[in-house]
Structure 1
Amino acid sequence: RTDLPQAVVVRVIDGDTIVVNLNGMEEKVRLIGIDTPESRVNKRAEIQSREGLGDTQTILELGKKAKEFTASLVKPGDKVYLEFDVQQRDKYGRLLAYVYLQDGRMLNKEIICNGYAMPLTVPPNVKYEEEFRKCYKEARENRRGLWKE
């Protein structure tokens, strides 16, 4: 996907958020369409607990595994390509993107297909919604990643 804007990975914040250098600026990038368990205590971890993912401690452990999986796919210094959907930024100022690895695989899709995320649909950014839902279903049925237990 060399037709897309190129960025360089700075670090992985958690399973669904990375920091990249884009045109000389550090930017937080939220991976569109997926939601990984939180890796630190915050409001979202409490919500995930209420949604039945387990107690807060379990969520944080799952979040750590999701972050490690994401970090196994993107390392500081890696070149990635960013595809935007309808909205380019969220209310927190983060870039919203589908992130492509050097080998052409989409990071968002790799995370959900391997069982480390749930689908998160936030209209109008729904370009790969069906694909992500299908991947999620297959990951759960085949007990991949976080769904092993």
Structure 2
Amino acid sequence: MMFRGFILFISSLLSFCESQHSTGRIVPFEGRFEDKIHTDPSIFKVDSLVDGDTFWVLDSKGERIKIRLIGVDAPEVKNVFRKKKHPFGAVSKGYVDSLLLSNRFVRLTFDVDSLDQYGRTLGYAYLNDGTFLNEHLIRQGYATLMTISPNIQYEEMFYEAQVYARENKLGIWKEED
């Protein structure tokens, strides 16, 4: 009887830990991003949206910068470069659009390489509520993991997020009815 109680306790503890883990990474930020854009060089205003992993921002001087999220590969909304349009591309873009249109200011951090082969700035994006956008998109199944060395700072976290999305059949991992 005592062993059974111990097993139930461990099972409950593991379930609790998984539920805490599944919410994604949150990094608190004091204040509102829009109030800090002229004093914090890591704050940018979202200007326009391209697809599920790329968007344009304005810096504090109003200069446009094209951002490509590090570690994230969202399905394409149209044929681009060597990649083909994917049926889930519009869904992924719509989700990112809804997040960024309701969070017009983001905090960006960077890794080792700052530009990709197409001249886009590579970054990690955080919403004002602390949501780590790169990880969130993978965890919710709106993008998949794509790390390119040397920008691998969060590779393990992104891998865990993708495992979670696949196991829970979220977004792109959802089985067709």
Q: How many residues align?
A: 137
The alpha-carbon distance between structure 1 residues 42 and 92, as it changes in their structure 2 partners (threshold 3 A), is: closer
Quick one: higher RCO (CA 8 Å, sep 6+), 1 or 2? 1
Matched, 1:114 2:162: no
Contact 2:103 2:128 in 1 (8 A): no
Structure 1 runs not aligned, ≥5 long: 47-55
Report deviation, 1:11.
1.6
Matched, 1:27 2:65: yes
Stretches (4+) displaced over 3 A: 1-4
Partner of 1:7: 44
The alpha-carbon distance between structure 1 residues 36 and 44, as it changes in their structure 2 partners (threshold 3 A), is: farther
Normalising by structure 1, report the TM-score: 0.85
The alpha-carbon distance between structure 1 residues 77 and 131, as it changes in their structure 2 partners (threshold 3 A), is: closer
Normalising by structure 2, report the TM-score: 0.72
Structure 2: how far apart are the matches of 1:18 and 1:101?
14
Secondary structure of the structure 2 residue equivalent to 1:96: strand
Structure 2: how far apart are the matches of 1:106 and 1:4?
18
Partner of 2:22: none
Report deviation, 1:148.
1.3
Contact 2:103 2:127 in 1 (8 A): no
Over the residues paired in the alignment, what is the CA RMSD in angstroms? 1.7
Report deviation, 1:76.
7.3
Partner of 2:116: 90
Amino acid at match of 1:115: G
Amino acid at match of 1:127: Q
Structure 1: how far apart are the matches of 2:116 and 2:42?
18
Quick check: which has more Rg, 1 or 2? 2
Give the % identical residues: 42
Q: Of 99, 111, 114, which residue of structure 2 is paired with 1:73?
A: 99
Q: Of 74, 81, 86, which residue of structure 2 is paired with 1:36?
A: 74
Structure 1: how far apart are the matches of 2:158 and 2:54?
17
Structure 2: how far apart are the matches of 1:74 and 1:103?
12
Report deviation, 1:43.
3.8
Please identify which structure carries the higher strand content: 1
